[in-house]
C-alpha cells in the first residue's frame, strides 16, 4: 500500500470543499476523508508492527513505529474533530461560503499534520511543520472577533519567528552532517547513525536553535504566551486539533532529534529536556489556578502536558521512553475530548467564563458529565489513560533514581490536578445565582463525536491492547540513543 | 571569465553581504511601509546575488537554482501577493511611533550585528570553512535583526517583513553552509513563504476590517488577568 494515499485524502477533500456546493458536501467530504485516513493509518500501523517500517519513496517518504503512532493519533483526532465540526460550526455561522472555507482550511491543516511523520528528509520536515502553522492561522482567527484575530496574530508571530530560528538550526545541522554522509542520503535515520561523527560545536548550536524555535511552537515556557490565547480563541474542534495533536506533532520532531543530540559531546541533551520540561510543567501547573476562561484552562493544561512528555523523554532509558509514548497517546486522546466537552459547554451556556458557568450538570447532564470526565481524565485521576501514563513516568524516574525529577513531577502534577478540578468542580456542581438558561441545544453530531472520542480515554486506562503495547515499545526504541 | 578570479568573487560577495546587512537595518528603521518593503526587496536581491557569486567558482548548479528561485519569488511575487491581499491603504501607511525611537533602535541593531559576528566565529573556526566567513555572521545578524524588528515595530506589515527578513537571513547563511540542499527543499520553502505572505495578508486585512487598525502591537486584550 502506498503511504501517499493518506495525505492525499485531505487534499482531495479540500478540493471538494472549494466546489461551489452546499456546505453539507464540504462537511461530508471532510468526515469521509478523515475516516478513510484513519482506516489507512490503522492498516499502515499493522504493517509496521510486522515489518518495522513502511517505505513509499526510499529516503524521502517512509514511516517507522514512532511516526505511525503520531499518524494514528492525527487521523483519530481529525476524525472526531470533523464529526464535531458538523453540528458545532453550523451554530457558529450559517454562511455557506464561510463554512466551506472553514472545511477547506481544516483539511489543509490535517494534511500538513499527516505529512510531518512521513517525511524522512529533515529539511522537508521543517517545511511540513511550517505548513501546520500557516494552515492553522486563519482557523484560529476564524470567528473574526477582536480577541480571535489578536490570538491569531500572536500565534502567527511567535510560531513563525520560532520556525525561522529553527530553520537556521536545521541548516546548521545539515552543515554538520553533509561532510559525514559518506554517500548516504540525508535522512532522519542516517542522521542518528552519523551523529557521533558530527562536529559537537555545530551540533550543540543546532540543538539550541531547534529547541528554541520548535519549543516556541510546542509551547514550552517561556515561549508559551501565544498558546493559551490561540488554543482558547479558535473554534472548539480546531482547539482539539491544535492542543491534542499539533503540539504533539511538533514535539515528535524534537524528540526524534534527541538521540542525535545525545551523541554530541558536551551537551547533556537529556538534562536539557528534563529542565525545560519541568519548567513548563511547573509554570503551567500554577498558571492553571488563576484562569478565568475554561478553554484557557485546558490550554494551560496542554503546556503542562507538553512539559510532562518532555520530562519523560529526558528521563531516558527504555522505561522513560515507553512512558513518553504512553503519555503522548493518552494526552492526545484526552485533550481532544476535553476540548469537545468545553466546546459543548460553550455552546450551551454561551460564555467562556468559568465564574458564569454553574450547575452545568443540571442544565445539560450530558455536557456536565462530559466536562467532569474530561477534567478528571486530563488531571490524571484513575482509572483514565493519563493516570496510567503519568504513573509510569514517575515509576521510570524512580527507576533511574532522578529523585529531584520525581519530587518535582509529583508535586506539580498534584498541583495541576487540584487546579483543574477546582474549576471543573465549580462549573459542573456549583450553585447558579440565577436559574441558567441553555442558549443552544447540543447537536447530535457533537454528541456522537464525543462518544467516539471518549472510548480510548476510558479503555486505555484499564486495558492496553497487546498490538498497541507492541507499537509503543517499538516507538520507544526509536528514541534510544 | 578571467577577471572574475576567486579573489574578486570573494570581494564582491563581501560587498553583497554588506548591502544585505544595510537592508536589514533599513527594515528596522524605515517609517514608510513602502520603504520598508523596498528594503526587503533589496535584501532579497542581494541574497540572490550572493548565491550567484558563490555558485560561479566552483560552479554549482544548486546555487544557480537558488538564485533563480529567489529572484522570481521574493522581489516579484511576494510584493505582488501582499499588494493583492492587504489592499492599498494598509500598504501606503506610515508608522507613527515605534516602541523605541529610531536612533536607539539602530544602536541596538548594531550591537546585535556585532554579537552575531562573535557567535558565528567559533563555528567557523570549528569547521575551518573559510567561505562561511562572510555569509554566516551576516546571515545570523539577519536573523537577529529580523527578531528585533518583530519586537520594536507595531504595524502589521513591518512585523511580517521582519519575519521574512529572518528567513532571508537563515538562507543567506544557508547558501554557504548548506549549498547542496535539494532543489525540492528550495522550491518548497519558496512555496511556503508565498503561503505565509498570503495568509498574513488575509489576516491583516481581517484585522483592519474588524478591529479598524493595523497597529497589531497595540492589541492586548488577551492577558492572564483579563476578565473576558
For A101-113, give the secondary structure using H, E and C.
HHHHHHHHHHHHH
CB A136 within 8 A of CB A239: no
Are B123 and A145 within 8 A, CB to CB? no
Listed in sequence order, the residues at least 6 apart from A70 whose beta carbon sits closer than 8 Å to its beta carbon are A116, A117, A248, A249, A252, A328
A119 φ, ψ (degrees, to nearest 5)? -80, 130
Flag whether pLDDT at A1 surpasses 70: no
Give whole-number Cα distances, B42 to A48, A351, B20, B66, B71, in Å.
Answer: 50, 49, 8, 16, 11
Task: Please give, rounded to a whole number of angstroms, the shortest distance from the CA of B179 to a CA of chain A.
Answer: 9
CB B98 within 8 A of CB B152: yes
So what's the pLDDT on residue A433?
76
What is the average pLDDT across A86-112? 91
Flag whether pLDDT at B217 surpasses 90: no
Peptide bond into B93 cis (omega under 30): no
Dihedral angle at the C-alpha atoms of B217, B223, B227, B228, nearest 10 degrees? 60
Contacts of B189 in chain A (CB under 8 A): 127
Average pLDDT, chain A: 92
Report the share of chain A in percent with pLDDT over 90.
Answer: 73
Are B156 and A141 within 8 A, CB to CB? no
So what's the pLDDT on residue B227?
42
Interval A418-434: pLDDT, tens? 999 999 999 999 888 77
- pLDDT classification of A74: cutoffs 50, 70, 90: very high
Select the residue from A135, A154, A162, A167 to test the B interface by mutation, using most B Cβ atoms within 10 A: A167
Output B85 or A79, whichever has higher pLDDT. A79
Measured distance CA(A235)–CA(A93) in Å, rounded: 11
Flag whether pLDDT at B180 surpasses 70: yes
Measured distance CA(B201)–CA(B214) in Å, rounded: 11
Flag whether pLDDT at B221 surpasses 80: no
Interval A111-157: pLDDT, tens? 999 999 999 999 999 999 999 999 999 999 999 999 999 999 999 99
Lowest mean pLDDT among A51-60, A370-379, B15-24, B85-94: B85-94
Residue for grid cell 499588494:
B83
What is the average pLDDT across A234-259? 94
H-helix or E-strand containing A54?
strand A54-57
Interval A330-366: pLDDT, tens? 999 999 999 999 999 999 988 888 988 888 888 889 9
Which residue of chain A comes nearest to B165, CA vs CA? A164
Flag whether pLDDT at B89 surpasses 90: no
Flag whether pLDDT at A403 surpasses 60: yes
Are B222 and A175 within 8 A, CB to CB? no
Give whole-number Cα distances, B102 to B90, B112, B153, in Å.
Answer: 21, 15, 11
Output A268 or A106, whichever has higher pLDDT. A106
Residue B155 forms contact with A (CB below 8 Å): no
So what's the pLDDT on residue B106?
92
Are B127 and A202 within 8 A, CB to CB? yes
Residue for grid cell 441553555:
A438
Task: Please give, rounded to a whole number of angstroms, the shortest distance from the CA of B138 to a CA of chain A.
Answer: 12
3-state secondary structure of B94: strand
Flag whether pLDDT at A324 surpasses 60: yes
Listed in sequence order, the residues at least 6 apart from B36 whose beta carbon sits closer than 8 Å to its beta carbon are B26, B27, B30, B157, B158, B161
CB A479 within 8 A of CB A66: yes
Amino acid at each position: 500500500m502506498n503511504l501517499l494515499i493518506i495525505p492525499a485524502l485531505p487534499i482531495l477533500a479540500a478540493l471538494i470543499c472549494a466546489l461551489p456546493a452546499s456546505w453539507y458536501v464540504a462537511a461530508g467530504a471532510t468526515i469521509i476523508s478523515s475516516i478513510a485516513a484513519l482506516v489507512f493509518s490503522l492498516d499502515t500501523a499493522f504493517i509496521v508492527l510486522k515489518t518495522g517500517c513502511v517505505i513509499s519513496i526510499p529516503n524521502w517518504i517512509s514511516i517507522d513505529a514512532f511516526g505511525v503512532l503520531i499518524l494514528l493519533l492525527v487521523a483519530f483526532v481529525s476524525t472526531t474533530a470533523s464529526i464535531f465540526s458538523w453540528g458545532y460550526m453550523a451554530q457558529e455561522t450559517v454562511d455557506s461560503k464561510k463554512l466551506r472555507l472553514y472545511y477547506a482550511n481544516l483539511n489543509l491543516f490535517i494534511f500538513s499534520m499527516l505529512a510531518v511523520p512521513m517525511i524522512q528528509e529533515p529539511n522537508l520536515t521543517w517545511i511540513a511543520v511550517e505548513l501546520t502553522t500557516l494552515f492553522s492561522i486563519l482557523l484560529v482567527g476564524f470567528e473574526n472577533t477582536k480577541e480571535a484575530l489578536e490570538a491569531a496574530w500572536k500565534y502567527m508571530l511567535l510560531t513563525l519567528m520560532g520556525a525561522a530560528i529553527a530553520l537556521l538550526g536545521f541548516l546548521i545541522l545539515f552543515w554538520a552532517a553533509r561532510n559525514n554522509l559518506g554517500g548516504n542520503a540525508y535522512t532522519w535515520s542516517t542522521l542518528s547513525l552519523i551523529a557521533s561523527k558530527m562536529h559537537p560545536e555545530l551540533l550543540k548550536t543546532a540543538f539550541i536553535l531547534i529547541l528554541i524555535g520548535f519549543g516556541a511552537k510546542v509551547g514550552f515556557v517561556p515561549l508559551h504566551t501565544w498558546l493559551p490565547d490561540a488554543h482558547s480563541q479558535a473554534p472548539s474542534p480546531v482547539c482539539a486539533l491544535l492542543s491534542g495533536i499539533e503540539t504533539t506533532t511538533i514535539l515528535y520532531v524534537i524528540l526524534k532529534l534527541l538521540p542525535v543530540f545525545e551523541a554530541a559531546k558536551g551537551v547533556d541533551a537529556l538534562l536539557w529536556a528534563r529542565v525545560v520540561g519541568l519548567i513548563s510543567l511547573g509554570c503551567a501547573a500554577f498558571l492553571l489556578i488563576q484562569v478565568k476562561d475554561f478553554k484557557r484552562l485546558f490550554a494551560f493544561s496542554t503546556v503542562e502536558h507538553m512539559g510532562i512528555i518532555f520530562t519523560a523523554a529526558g528521563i531516558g532509558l527504555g522505561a522513560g521512553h515507553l512512558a513518553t509514548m504512553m503519555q503522548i497517546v493518552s494526552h492526545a486522546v484526552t485533550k481532544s475530548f476535553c476540548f469537545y466537552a468545553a466546546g459543548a459547554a460553550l455552546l450551551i451556556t454561551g460564555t467562556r467564563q468559568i465564574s458564569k458557568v454553574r450547575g452545568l450538570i443540571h442544565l445539560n447532564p450530558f455536557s456536565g458529565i462530559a466536562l467532569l470526565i474530561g477534567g478528571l481524565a486530563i488531571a490524571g485521576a484513575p482509572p483514565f489513560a493519563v493516570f496510567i501514563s503519568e504513573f509510569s513516568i514517575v515509576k521510570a524516574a524512580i527507576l533511574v533514581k532522578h529523585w529531584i525529577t520525581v519530587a518535582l513531577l509529583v508535586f506539580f502534577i498534584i498541583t495541576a490536578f487540584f487546579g483543574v478540578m477546582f474549576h471543573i468542580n465549580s462549573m459542573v456542581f456549583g450553585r447558579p445565582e440565577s436559574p441558567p438558561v441553555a442558549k443552544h441545544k447540543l447537536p447530535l453530531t457533537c454528541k456522537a463525536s464525543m462518544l467516539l472520542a471518549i472510548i480510548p480515554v476510558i479503555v486505555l486506562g484499564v486495558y492496553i491492547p497487546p498490538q498497541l503495547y507492541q507499537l509503543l515499545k517499538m516507538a520507544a526504541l526509536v528514541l534510544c540513543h | 571569465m578571467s577577471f572574475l578570479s576567486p579573489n574578486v568573487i570573494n570581494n564582491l560577495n563581501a560587498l553583497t553581504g554588506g548591502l544585505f546587512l544595510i537592508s536589514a537595518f533599513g527594515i528596522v528603521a524605515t517609517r514608510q511601509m513602502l520603504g520598508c518593503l523596498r528594503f526587503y526587496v533589496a535584501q532579497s536581491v542581494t541574497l540572490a546575488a550572493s548565491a550567484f557569486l558563490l555558485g560561479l567558482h566552483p560552479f554549482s548548479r544548486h546555487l544557480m537554482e537558488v538564485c533563480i528561485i529567489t529572484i522570481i519569488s521574493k522581489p516579484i511575487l511576494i510584493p505582488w501577493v501582499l499588494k493583492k491581499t492587504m489592499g492599498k491603504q494598509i500598504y501606503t501607511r506610515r508608522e507613527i511611533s515605534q516602541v523605541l525611537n529610531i536612533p536607539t533602535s539602530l544602536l541596538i541593531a548594531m550591537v546585535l550585528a556585532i554579537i552575531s559576528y562573535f557567535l558565528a566565529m567559533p563555528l567557523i573556526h570549528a569547521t575551518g570553512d573559510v567561505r562561511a566567513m562572510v555569509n554566516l555572521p551576516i546571515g545570523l545578524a539577519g536573523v537577529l535583526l529580523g527578531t528585533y524588528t518583530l519586537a520594536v515595530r507595531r504595524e502589521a506589515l513591518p512585523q511580517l517583513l521582519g519575519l521574512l527578513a529572518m528567513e532571508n537571513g537563515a538562507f543567506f547563511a544557508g547558501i554557504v553552509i548548506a549549498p547542496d540542499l535539494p532543489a525540492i527543499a528550495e522550491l518548497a520553502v519558496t512555496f511556503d513563504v508565498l503561503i505565509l505572505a498570503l495568509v498574513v495578508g488575509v489576516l491583516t486585512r481581517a484585522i483592519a476590517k474588524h478591529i479598524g487598525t493595523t497597529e497589531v502591537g497595540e492589541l492586548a486584550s488577551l492577558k492572564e488577568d483579563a476578565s473576558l
